[in-house]
C-alpha cells in the first residue's frame, strides 16, 4: 500500500467527495470500535451503571480457561480453514496447471460455488451430513464401519474437527482458484530451464512453482486465516459452542457474553482482542511475503 505520491493537483473539493462516506463510516465503524475499547474497560450488564474494571477483562482472556479455550479453538480452525486448503489447493492447482485438462472452466465454477452460498445454508447442509441418521454415518455404515458412527456435532472430541472440515470444504476452492491464477503466470521458460538442469517433477515444484506463487499464498493465507478467526454463523447454527464449550470460538463468545450472559465489558474485550489478533496476523503474513519477494 503506497500512498507516497498521490496523483492530481491539490484540491479542497476532495473533502466534499469524502464527506458522505466518511460520516457513515465514522458513525457506524470508527466510533463503535472506540466505544468497544471504552466498554472493555468496564464491568457492565447493559442496564445498570458500569463499574471500572481496568484491564481485568483482558486479563480474563488469558486467565479464564473458557475464554482461553475459545482462542485455542480458533487456532485449531486455522489449521482446517487455511493450512489444509493450502496443501490441497497447491496440489490441485499444480495438476491443473500442468495437464491441459478439459472442463477447467466448469471445475472452477464448481469449486468456487461454496464461497457464494450463504453460511446459514452451508450450516444447514452440513448439519444434515453430520446428523446421527445423516449422510456421513450412512456412508460409514455402507462401508461396514458402523463402529465409527456417532452424532458428530454432539461429540466432545469430534465436534470441533467436524466444524473445521466445513471450513476446509468452502475455502479450498477459493485457494485453488487463486493459486491457479498465479501459476498460469509462470513463464514456461522457467520450467524448461529447470528441466534442462535435470529437475524432476517434485524438485521442479519446490524450485520453480512454489517460489513463484509466494504472493498468492500470502493472499490465500490472509483471507482464510481471517475467515477462520471470525467463524460465527457456522458455530451458531451447528453447535452453539457445544457440547460443553468444545466448539466455542471468540466471535461466538462475543455474542454469547453480550446477549446471553450480559457481560458487555468482557464481550467488548474479546472483540477488541480479536481485532488486534486479526490485524497482527495479516500484517505478519504480508510482511513475510514481502521479505521473500525482495
Partner 1 sequence: MISRGERLANYVILSAFAAFALFPILSILFAALGPDDSADATGQGLSVAGLHVGNFSAAWEVGRFGTYLRTSLMVSAFVVVVSVVLSIMSGYAFGTMRFRGQSVLFYLFMLGIMMPSEAIAVPLYFDLRSLGLIDTFWSVALPQVALSVAFGTFWMRAYFRASSRAIVEAARIDGASTWRILWQVLVPPSRPAVVTLTVLVFMWTWNEFLIPLIMVTSESLRTAPLGLAFFQGQYTSGFTLLAAGSVIVATPVVIFYLFLQRHFVRGLLQGAVRE
Choose the binding region for partner 1 from 51-59, 66-74, 122-130, 151-159 (rule: CB under 8 A).
Answer: 122-130
- The footprint of partner 1 on this chain (CB under 8 A) covers a number of residues equal to 99
Choose the binding region for partner 1 from 71-79, 127-135, 155-163, 186-194 (rule: CB under 8 A).
Answer: 127-135
Residue from the set 57, 137, 209, 222 that interacts with partner 1 by CB under 8 A: 222
Cell 483482558 sits on residue: 58
Could you tell me the smallest distance in angstroms from the CB atom of residue 4 to partner 1?
Answer: 8
Considering only residues 23-52, where is the footprint of partner 1 by CB under 8 A? 24-25, 27-33, 35-36, 38-39, 46
Nearer Cβ to partner 1 (100/147): 100
Burial-class residue 127 by CB neighbours within 10 Å (0-12, 13-18, 19+).
Answer: middle
β-pair partners for 52: 42
Considering only residues 73-92, where is the footprint of partner 1 by CB under 8 A? 88, 92
Cell 481471517 sits on residue: 226
Question: Is residue 205 a contact residue for partner 1 (CB under 8 A)?
Answer: no
Residue from the set 49, 118, 143, 202 that interacts with partner 1 by CB under 8 A: 118
β-pair partners for 43: 51
Do the Cβ atoms of 231 and 76 come closer than 8 Å? Answer: no
CA distances from 135 to 127, 138, 218, 237 (A): 10, 5, 35, 18
Question: Is residue 254 a contact residue for partner 1 (CB under 8 A)?
Answer: yes
Nearer Cβ to partner 1 (26/63): 26
Start-end of H helices in 131-232: 135-142, 159-183, 188-196, 201-204, 210-212, 214-229
Could you tell me the smallest distance in angstroms from the CB atom of residue 255 to partner 1?
Answer: 7
Nearer Cβ to partner 1 (125/207): 125
**Rounded CA separation 123/83 (Å):** 21
Choose the binding region for partner 1 from 58-66, 73-81, 121-129, 185-193 (rule: CB under 8 A).
Answer: 121-129
**Rounded CA separation 74/233 (Å):** 14
Residue from the set 71, 80, 152, 255 that interacts with partner 1 by CB under 8 A: 255
Could you tell me the smallest distance in angstroms from the CB atom of residue 218 to partner 1?
Answer: 9
Nearer Cβ to partner 1 (11/147): 11
Question: Is residue 117 a contact residue for partner 1 (CB under 8 A)?
Answer: yes
Considering only residues 128-187, where is the footprint of partner 1 by CB under 8 A? 128-129, 135, 169, 172-174, 177-178, 181
Nearest C-alpha neighbor of 235 from the set 261, 256, 258: 256
**Rounded CA separation 76/279 (Å):** 19
Contacts 24+ apart (CB under 8 A), 191-197: none
Residue from the set 111, 183, 228, 235 that interacts with partner 1 by CB under 8 A: 111
CA dihedral 41, 45, 48, 52 (to 10 degrees): -20
Cell for 168? 476446509
Amino acid at each position: 500500500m503506497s500512498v507516497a505520491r498521490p496523483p492530481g493537483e491539490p484540491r479542497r473539493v476532495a473533502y466534499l467527495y469524502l464527506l458522505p462516506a466518511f460520516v457513515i463510516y465514522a458513525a457506524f465503524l470508527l466510533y463503535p470500535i472506540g466505544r468497544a475499547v471504552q466498554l472493555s474497560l468496564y464491568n457492565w450488564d447493559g442496564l445498570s451503571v458500569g463499574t471500572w474494571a481496568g484491564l481485568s477483562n483482558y486479563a480474563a482472556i488469558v486467565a479464564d480457561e473458557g475464554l482461553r479455550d475459545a482462542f485455542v479453538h480458533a487456532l485449531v480452525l486455522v489449521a482446517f480453514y487455511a493450512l489444509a486448503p493450502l496443501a490441497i489447493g497447491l496440489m490441485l492447482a499444480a495438476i491443473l496447471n500442468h495437464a491441459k485438462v478439459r472442463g477447467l472452466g466448469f471445475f472452477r465454477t464448481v469449486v468456487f460455488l461454496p464461497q457464494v452460498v450463504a453460511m446459514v445454508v452451508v450450516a444447514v447442509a452440513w448439519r444434515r451430513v453430520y446428523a446421527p441418521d445423516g449422510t456421513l454415518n450412512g456412508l460409514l455404515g455402507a462401508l461396514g464401519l458402523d463402529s465409527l458412527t456417532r452424532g458428530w456435532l454432539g461429540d466432545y472430541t469430534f465436534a470441533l474437527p467436524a466444524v473445521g472440515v466445513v471450513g476446509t470444504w468452502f475455502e479450498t476452492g477459493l485457494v485453488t482458484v487463486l493459486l491457479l491464477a498465479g501459476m498460469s503466470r509462470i513463464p514456461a521458460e522457467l520450467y524448461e530451464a529447470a528441466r534442462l538442469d535435470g529437475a524432476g517433477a517434485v524438485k521442479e515444484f519446490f524450485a520453480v512453482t512454489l517460489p513463484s506463487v509466494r504472493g498468492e499464498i500470502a493472499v490465500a493465507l490472509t483471507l482464510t486465516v481471517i475467515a477462520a478467526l471470525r467463524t460465527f454463523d457456522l458455530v451458531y447454527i451447528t453447535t452453539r459452542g457445544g457440547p460443553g464449550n468444545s466448539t466455542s470460538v471468540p466471535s461466538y463468545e462475543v455474542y454469547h457474553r453480550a446477549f446471553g450472559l450480559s457481560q458487555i465489558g468482557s464481550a467488548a474485550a474479546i472483540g477488541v482482542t480479536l481485532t488486534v489478533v486479526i490485524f497482527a496476523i495479516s500484517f505478519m503474513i504480508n510482511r513475510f511475503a514481502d521479505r521473500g519477494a525482495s
